[in-house]
């Protein structure tokens, strides 16, 4: 009987806590309705489904190691653009490459700790640096500076320090089926401009601009990024009316849609089933103890009857 009472107490305690949680949730939903204000999507789902999910966002760590440029090396000279910059880096970090302090490209550091970014140099001296960042734009340690030279071509159209492609973002994120917008800016050069946008998923858009300045390009990815950490390279090329060219590589991250089942993660259904199991297990214990108690009571009554019959005989 003691066990039965304890089990019943556990069961009633669980039921009471569940009832209080339901009451609090109902009060929250009622308060939201009375305020006649838009309900936060997370609260709306809780009210509709009677489930409460708590999500926490942990800031990513700041990169602890620098990005080191291994190629090109200081003292090298070039006659054409783009020039491929390679090096080592902390895996998973976002690498920005600069020349003379101007952002000329970005990429995600690979799983093996390496990066490769084709960049446009300016005519004359170029001080190349590569800096690692986390996803909230916190910079890691500073690495080396590599000084190279881009030689001016001997006449005729070609690359020019007067034509540059820039963006206020070095990476952007989206999910399949959701449109993404990239801000791009043409600096200098001679109008008109032909701009080629290679989205990295096999799709290329051609854009004509009649004047320099900022503009936007839009795209909808149909699948998750195929590169490391679900990335696609975004490669933008521009040619102006004088035949000068410019090049810029950025990074798009296309992650699975929220709620989709991915490797290493469980579904909400499994969590729900687990929660239900936790709630109902006291019921099974109570039922088991009741059956045992009934069986023991029957045996006791039978034993008493047998003793009484023996006494009468």
Helix (H, G, I), strand (E, B) or coil at 115: strand
Q: How sure is the predictor about 134, in pLDDT bands with cuts at 50, 70 and 90?
A: very high
Can you tell me the distance from the alpha carbon of 151 to that of 49, in angstroms, rounded to the nearest whole number? 66
Q: 197 exposed, middle or buried (CB, 10 Å; 0-12, 13-18, 19+)?
A: buried
> Can you read off the two tokens belonging to residue 280?
């109902």
Q: Please indicate, yes or no, if residue 268 is contained in any of the structural domains.
A: no
In what side-by-side order are the strands of the sheet with 163-166? 163-166, 179-188, 213-220
Q: Please indicate, yes or no, if residue 284 is contained in any of the structural domains.
A: no
Do 242 and 164 lie in one domain? The reply is yes
Do 87 and 147 lie in one domain? The reply is yes
- State the pLDDT at residue 192: 95
Q: What is the distance, to the nearest Å, from the Cα of residue 75 to the centroid of all Cα atoms in its chain?
A: 39
Higher-confidence position of 158 and 71:
71
Do 13 and 48 lie in one domain? The reply is yes
Q: Please indicate, yes or no, if residue 178 is contained in any of the structural domains.
A: yes
Can you tell me the distance from the alpha carbon of 91 to that of 132, in angstroms, rounded to the nearest whole number? 10
pTM above the 0.85 mark? no
| Number of domains observed in the structure of the chain | 3
Q: How sure is the predictor about 276, in pLDDT bands with cuts at 50, 70 and 90?
A: low
- pLDDT, one tens digit per residue, over 38-49 is 334 344 444 445
Parent domain of 228:
159-258
Q: What is the mean pLDDT of residues 225-248?
A: 92
CB 90 within 8 A of CB 65: yes
- State the pLDDT at residue 160: 52
* 141: CATH: 2.60.40.10
Q: How sure is the predictor about 152, in pLDDT bands with cuts at 50, 70 and 90?
A: confident
Place of tokens 């009375």: 34
- State the pLDDT at residue 278: 52
């Amino acid at each position: 009987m003691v066990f039965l009472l304890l089990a019943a107490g556990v069961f009633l305690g669980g039921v009471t806590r569940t009832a209080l949680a339901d009451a609090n949730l109902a009060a929250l939903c009622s308060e939201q309705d009375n305020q006649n204000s838009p309900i936060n999507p997370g609260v709306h789902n809780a009210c509709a489904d009677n489930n409460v999910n708590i999500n926490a966002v942990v800031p990513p760590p700041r990169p602890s190691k620098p990005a080191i440029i291994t190629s090109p090396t200081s003292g090298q000279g070039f006659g054409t653009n783009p020039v491929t910059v390679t090096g080592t880096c902390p895996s998973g970090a976002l690498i920005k490459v600069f020349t003379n302090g101007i952002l000329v490209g970005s990429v995600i550091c690979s799983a093996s700790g390496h990066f490769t970014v084709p960049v446009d140099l300016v005519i004359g001296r170029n001080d190349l640096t590569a800096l690692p960042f986390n996803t909230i734009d916190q910079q890691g340690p500073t690495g080396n500076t590599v000084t190279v030279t881009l030689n001016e071509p001997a006449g005729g159209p070609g690359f020019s320090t007067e034509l540059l492609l820039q963006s206020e973002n070095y990476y952007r994120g989206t999910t399949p089926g959701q449109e993404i917008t990239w801000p791009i800016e043409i600096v200098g050069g001679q109008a008109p401009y032909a701009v080629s946008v290679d989205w990295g998923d096999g799709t290329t858009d051609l854009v004509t601009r009649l004047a320099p300045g900022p503009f936007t390009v839009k795209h909808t990815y149909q699948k998750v990024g195929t590169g490391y950490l679900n990335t696609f390279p975004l490669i933008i090329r521009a040619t102006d009316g004088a035949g000068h060219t410019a090049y810029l590589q950025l990074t798009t991250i296309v992650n699975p849609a929220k709620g989709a089942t991915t490797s290493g993660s469980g579904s909400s259904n499994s969590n729900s089933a687990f929660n239900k199991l936790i709630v109902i297990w006291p019921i099974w214990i109570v039922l088991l103890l009741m059956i045992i108690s009934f069986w023991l009571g029957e045996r006791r009554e039978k034993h008493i009857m047998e003793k009484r019959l023996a006494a009468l005989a």
